[in-house]
Amino acid sequence: MTAASDAVTWVLLIPITAAAVLAALPGYRLTAGLNIVASLGTLLAALSLLVVERPQPGQYLLIDDLNIVFIVLNTFVGFTTSVFSASYIAHELETGRLTPGYLRFYHAMYQVMMFGMNLAFVSNNIGLIWVAVEVATLTTVLMVGIYRTHAALEAAWKYFILGSVGIALALFGTILVYMAALPVVGEGQDAMVWTVLISRAATFDPALLNVAFIFLLLGYGTKVGLAPLHAWLPDAHAEGPTPISAVLSGLLLNVALYAVLRFKILLAANPDAISPGPLMVTMGLTSLLFAAFMLYRRRDIKRLFAYSSIEHMGIIVFAFGMGGPLANFAGLLHMVMHSLTKSGIFYAVGHIAQVKGTQRIANIRGLTESHPALGWSLVIGVVAIAGLPPLGIFMSEFLIVSSTFARQPLLAIPLVFGLLLAFGALILRLTSLAFGEPRGNAAPADASYLPMFAHFALVLTAGIYLPGPLVVWFQHVAHLLG
């Protein structure tokens, strides 16, 4: 095996092996430490893919410029979340919100979830991508309901039912792609291998591809959290443990987005198929505008940022739907910046909910006075996610708006309106949360803030300076996306 093949193997082998070991181990401290070590090992294996020669595509696995962006981002946020999770869940145990019995398989499920997401990214088989997304979904469903309260179980069931509907639609779309490939490629596994499909896509039946993409966009769009398929997402964020909220917003939404982008490339390779752009632009704008209005009505801090995730996934899907080198580059950059920023915000929110003893926005005031490190970190996070300079999301949103004004000026009007509407809601909530007379508990914060600081430092750095090689790499991926 080559070094690259070894690296891909370790990206998958470390989490699934760690899951088996963690399921057999008792005690929280030991399993939390092993979870961090396993996540770090997976990150190092993913980073090695940047420096070794990539393996040739096989029937099952593929490494290219597109998925390596997702793999590195996924493993990095997975590692930082495992560090945050160790202190967060320990606090939940100390306060009695969680019992050791309910936590028996928490870290094992975390590693299975990481395995499922990594497998979806490296898969060269459209059926295997579907299976991997389903594995990641089922494990997060179990983790959302871990508190075993009525609200948590209801949120988990809602997520399971709506996610199952979405994954069923995606499965039907996957079967239609196979049916479109069958007359050209022939029966067997080759009709599901993505590199084979993309090389022969120009000769596929365009009518079947058109119907397939609609089902795939609706199915995987449910997992992306696009309106009106978003209903599971706010409940899952609000009722599940905060580390899972960070993973949902920062990673799992990207897995489904990655699947949509793969099929978008496939559809674009057929000259007689419909353009996927208008469908993606419509769903993206709908999600942006809907979430922007809903931000004003949130009373729970985790639900607030759940709707912010819907807003930003709408912006990203809109950018990729617009297409072209600039919009694709901006969409890719926005995806990375959103993952880093939103997971960092949830790290802050998790600590805030613990020290204040509540998630209700009305009961949280004056964080910069009572807990300066947490309060000012939240300020930085909200300023970043709202799109203010000099942070990274400002750059990506500026590029998206500029590209839209240049190509479709009328579309820029609702886009800018949605961005300004969401900006107003976030700043309105921030002023009450961070400033004024402190309200709520003033328990000391004893957790590690390192993951949160690391994410916000990266977002700030990206807003000021992007390394030349990274820009060239993103430009190449933007070209691949069409």
pLDDT tens digits, one per residue of 318-333: 999 998 889 999 999 9
pLDDT confidence band for 447 (50 / 70 / 90): low
Determine the 3-state secondary structure of 360 from DSSP. strand
DSSP codes joined into one string, 367-407: HHHHSHHHHHHHHHHHHHHTT-TTSHHHHHHHHHHHHHHHH
Amino acid type, 175: I
pLDDT tens digits, one per residue of 28-75: 888 889 999 999 999 999 998 888 777 788 888 888 888 888 899 999
In the chain, what are the domain boundaries? 275-482
pLDDT confidence band for 2 (50 / 70 / 90): low
The runs of H, that is alpha helices, within 225-300 are 232-239, 242-247, 253-268, 277-294
CA nearest 461: which of 341, 329, 311, 326?
A: 341
Write down the pLDDT at residue 92. Answer: 82
Q: What is the mean pLDDT of the chain?
A: 88
pLDDT confidence band for 395 (50 / 70 / 90): very high
Write down the pLDDT at residue 264. Answer: 92
Write down the pLDDT at residue 385. Answer: 93
Query: Considering the chain, what percentage of its residues have pLDDT values greater than 70?
Result: 97
Higher pLDDT, 354 or 77: 77
Write down the pLDDT at residue 403. Answer: 92
pLDDT tens digits, one per residue of 230-274: 888 888 888 888 888 888 888 888 899 999 999 999 998 888 888
Determine the 3-state secondary structure of 270 from DSSP. coil
Write down the pLDDT at residue 35. Answer: 92
Write down the pLDDT at residue 328. Answer: 93
pLDDT tens digits, one per residue of 304-319: 999 999 999 999 999 9
Q: Mean pLDDT over residues 414-439, rounded?
A: 87
pLDDT tens digits, one per residue of 180-218: 988 888 887 888 998 999 988 888 889 999 999 999 999
pLDDT of 1 higher than 60: no
Lowest mean pLDDT among 27-41, 90-104, 386-400, 459-473: 90-104
- Alpha carbon 380 to its chain centroid, in Å, reads 20
Q: Which residues of 236-268 are buried (b: 16+ CB within 10 A; e: fewer)?
A: bbbbbbbbbbbbbbbbbbbbbbbbbbbbbbbbb
pLDDT of 89 higher than 70: yes
